[in-house]
Amino acid sequence: MPKEVQILPFNHKKLTQKVKDMKTFLPMIGNLLNPAMCSRHWRKLLKIAGKKIDVSSPQTTFKDILQLKLYHYESDVNDVVDLATKELKI
């Protein structure tokens, strides 16, 4: 390994946690893109995350959604998406 790489600070636990978070979040993106998801469902997700962003804005980016840290609320997110899907079927 090059000396430059060897001297870089490395936090294995932090990197491992980020990878775990992304493994949870990436499949969640598909659920969040579900056409059944409307503004009231997003309001629920924002309340769960304790954040405020305008998800309907064209200026909203993937980074903005990532910063909601919805991967910490995987079960709640799945519940909201399931509810949206069921509502759409009615």
- What pLDDT digit, counting tens, does each position of 56-89 carry? 899 999 899 989 999 899 999 999 999 999 999 9
Domain ranges of the chain: 12-89
pLDDT confidence of residue 5 = 55
51 contacts 44 by C-beta, under 8 angstroms:
no
32 φ, ψ to 5°? -70, -25
* Residue 73, pLDDT score: 94
Which helix H or strand E contains 17, and what residues bound it?
helix 12-32
Contact 86, 41 (CB under 8 A): no
Measured over the CA atoms of residue 10, residue 13, residue 14 and residue 17, the dihedral's sign is: positive
Q: What pLDDT, on a 0 to 100 scale, did the predictor assign at position 1?
A: 52
pTM of the model: 0.75
User: What is the tens place of the pLDDT at every residue in 9-52?
Assistant: 667 788 888 888 888 888 888 899 999 999 999 999 999 999 99
